[in-house]
Amino acid sequence: MPSKTPKVPQTNSGLILPRPGLKSAAAWIASAAPKVQSTLIEEMSDNATLSLPYLFEVWAHAHQLPPEGLWRCWVILGGRGAGKTRAGAEWIRRQVEGASPLASGRARRLALIGETYDQVRDVMIQGDSGLLACSPPDRRPQWKSGERKLIWANGAMAQAFSAHDPEALRGPQFDTAWADELAKWRRAREAWDMLQFSLRLGEDPRLCVTTTPRNVSLLRQLLQNPSTVQSHAATETNRANLAASFLTEIRARYGGSRLGRQELDGVLLSDVEGAIWRAAQLEKLQVTAAPELDRIVVAVDPAVSAGKDSDACGIIVAGACLQGPVQDWRAYVLADRTVQGLGPLAWARQVIDTYHAFSADRVVAEVNQGGALVESLLRQVDPLVGFQAVHASRGKVVRAEPVAALYEQGRVHHLPGLAELEEQMRQMAPQGFQGQGSPDRVDALVWALHQLVLDPASRGNLPRARMV
């Protein structure tokens, strides 16, 4: 099968009406005079006619074609139904296929990563716009579900991975990767880091990211990387392949709204509407180091279950300078030691290790669901740990608002390495947490700052100097 678009037959001058803004060969053909269209079809060989549906360069929108030049990562941002999955699948085809079905292409070892294995299989591989549907019969790969591998006749192989299981990316190595819906991966940072270490084969390893934009730190940082290029499209860009009733209904319901801008226009929004904490605010409160602190606590929002899909155990370390009048007190968030997927005794060890690493004065833990079990677990690891149980009698937002006021007053500072905590903070709004799962890190942060600053201030307690 030829790898370029069929040559357009020569026609008499004046029969083609040039129109600005045509983005594909198909658009050019559609704009031509009927006589030109007839001539083109009549002069095409049978092979060219059969190949035409699989020549994506003929049909693609501008945002679906990879940019020219040197780059490592191509990010395709788009609204729902904008053709992102098709673009990712066709890019993989372009990397794998050679001049003939058995000829090698640029890519030999590939990784396909989605939020879950099921989504890799059902969307990226077997979906309507997936790799199997996009491939011509003589080049269609074989899906081996038991091995989670896609095998091409020319020897190329793609492995399927779940972002829920970043450790599976240890060991394998690749020259090409496609990551789908990166912005909604729950363990995005861990999975992305493991992918970067494994993308090391060949002279120019590359990856494509297809995602509806969400305001997550990993995506923002990726877009700012000099080796990243991006393309963008709204849902309507692909309206020829979408039901007219869908577009009418979805625009009527969500057009002009914040959700519509994200999910339909494919716009990366800076902050959640009405967010308690804002990105610009947090950036101004960054410091490289903390001064000598009067008190340090490790705050814990315990996990009630274990497993890779369970909520995390939020573990935040914070300290405070408590000299002088209350309005001069300052708090410093030192570290985020949150863990996920560990059993109770394992996360208890993480808490105690953190407690000793920072020479903390106390562990503060919410015990609404664990009760006395939380303290019991911690004392199994260290019987002498300083411990205080706290009970949540009010909702998360109500507890967070006085802490947010400390930030507005510039009385809390962040050290480096708190990106995932700050991401959760930016998704806290008056109506609740707008992100996925539970805001474990934020809950722990709130308990830490209540313990360090708000509770002593409300009681009129004078802080005691730390004994070192």
User: Which band of pLDDT confidence, cut at 50, 70 and 90, is reported for residue 306?
Assistant: low
Lowest mean pLDDT among 15-24, 65-74, 104-113, 280-289: 15-24
pLDDT score recorded for residue 32: 76
Q: DSSP character for 454?
A: I
Mean pLDDT for the stretch of residues 45-69 = 83
- Report yes or no: 194 and 174 within 8 Å, Cβ to Cβ: no
> Higher pLDDT residue, 46 or 91?
91
User: What 3-state class would DSSP assign to 25?
Assistant: helix
CA-based nearest residue to 333, from 296, 361, 363, 359: 296
pLDDT per residue as tens digits for the range 308-328: 656 789 999 999 999 999 989
The pTM (predicted TM-score) of the whole model is 0.64
Q: DSSP character for 402?
A: H
Strands 149-151 and 142-144: antiparallel
> Higher pLDDT residue, 436 or 116?
116
Indicate the residue type of 158.
A
Paired residues of 160 in beta bridges: 112
CA-based nearest residue to 171, from 146, 197, 202, 201: 197
pLDDT score recorded for residue 275: 85
Residue 464: both structure tokens together: 């005691």
Cα separation, 429 vs 435, whole angstroms: 10
Q: Which sign, positive or negative, has the C-alpha torsion 290, 292, 295, 297?
A: positive
CA dihedral 339, 341, 346, 351 (to 10 degrees): 20
pLDDT per residue as tens digits for the range 110-156: 999 999 999 999 999 999 999 999 999 999 999 999 999 999 999 99
Say whether pLDDT at 74 is over 80.
Answer: yes
Measured CA to CA in angstroms, residue 186 lies from 123, 179, 311, 418, 438 at distances of: 18, 14, 10, 16, 11
CA-based nearest residue to 75, from 186, 177, 163: 177
User: Which band of pLDDT confidence, cut at 50, 70 and 90, is reported for residue 258?
Assistant: low
